[in-house]
Amino acid sequence: MGGLKPSKDWSLDKWLKWQDSLHSQVIDLGLERVSIVFKEIFPNGVPFKVITVAGTNGKGSTIAFIDSIYQQSDLSVGKFTSPHITKYNERFAIDGDLVSDQVICNAFMEIESIRGNISLTYFEFSTLAALVIFSNNNIDIATMEVGLGGRLDSVNVVDPDVSVITNIAIDHVEYLGDTLELIGTEKAGIMRPNVPCICGDSNPPKSISKEAENIGAEITFVTEIYSGEVNLKGDHQRINAALAVKVVETLKAEIPITEKQIDDGVSRTYIDGRFQIIQKNNKNIILDVAHNEAAIKVLANELTKNNEPTVAIFSALKDKSIAAMIDAMRPIIGLWLVVPLNVDRAIPTKDLRSAFSQTDNVTALESMDTAISHAMNSNLYSRIVIFGSFHTVSDALEVLNT
């Protein structure tokens, strides 16, 4: 399909399928390709302030806090995040509203008119689309989420006004390295000389400070939690909120914001898939996109605050530390329901099943729909937790919302 010539009449779905087939690799880190197109579209850089956010976990929540704070002001604010949970449009928001299919398609067409023979990945297209959409809508400030790593991620094509690193944990080792120091170096690649970098990791690898010193970045480490009202569940969200507040305060000289706007913004922040609770038929259904050992330990800690009989609906991608994910949740879960995911990187159900010990109570089911029905019909468990991947939560919400 990559050989087709896009048309202005294409639907969003057709554009996305075409982008999937355009480049030879789904993940192909590097700024060479995207930089060429970016400089053609924005020869003088983007016409708005940029906050770039990298990190292993907490990026989405931190961005949600920052975006909500700025929404309390008269500023026009853009938000670019990934991956999406239920629809692609979730990646692009302006003043809290998702942009339309047509706006996204128009941005794709603008990129395509300039791209020439440069082969772009699906994610590179989305990054450039975000910048085009934000520019065309004359926003004042955008928060941009790094997709993978930092140094070689397409979001890093933009020079930020503030760079943010949420935390560092082991994940994506085949791309970023298998130590915290190596991963820290990749995340630190979003820093710029003489530009503030705010880090929310309580025990950051030395590579973060070393890189800041090497290039002359102005790094600040956030060590205290936010003490005001936080709508999002979990102690870790107070850390993310404190990080967001520090970012906003760092830009105060250029973008004034009041203490009330900060407090209102934090207290009004909401984001799907982060300890999201749905009550249905006298059961508490908790959906969480935790997809690596560090994030799942945080999820487990939150679940232990309420000792409730719990069934898990679980699936993950094959490049994750599946055994460690299971170990973190094992003391809490009375029954595991494992399901397949319809993505290339998903772990086959038989391999997922074999990752459990003989003492685990595990049932393999053919679909998310079947798993949710099974869990809902069980009288032994009052709480259902669905986790392991963005795809797992996406599949569950599709079932629960029908």
Question: Which domains are seen in the chain, by residue range?
Answer: 12-267 (3.40.1190.10), 276-400 (3.90.190.20)
By CB atoms closer than 10 A (0-12, 13-18, 19+), residue 291 is buried
Residues in the chain, how many? 402
Residue 402: its pLDDT value, please? 77
Q: Which of 299, 311, 308 is nearest to 376 (CA)?
A: 311
CA distance linking residue 105 with residue 319, whole number of Å: 32
Ranges in the chain, pLDDT < 50 = 1
CA distance linking residue 134 with residue 121, whole number of Å: 20
Residues 6+ apart with CB under 8 A from 266: 65, 68, 69, 226, 228, 229, 230, 231, 241, 244, 245
Residue 172: its pLDDT value, please? 73
Q: Is the dihedral of CA 318, 324, 328, 330 positive or negative?
A: positive
Q: What is the pTM of this model?
A: 0.93
Residue 199: its pLDDT value, please? 97
Strand residue runs (E) in 10-94: 49-54, 77-80, 92-94
Give, to the nearest 10 degrees, the angle between helix 390-400 and helix 368-376.
70
Residue 3: its pLDDT value, please? 60
CA distance linking residue 41 with residue 64, whole number of Å: 27
Residue 178: its pLDDT value, please? 80
Q: Quick one: how far is CA 194 from the chain centroid? A: 27
State the Cα angle at 47 between 166 and 144, rounded to 5°. Answer: 20
Residue 267 and residue 231 in contact, taking contact as beta carbons nearer than 8 Å: yes
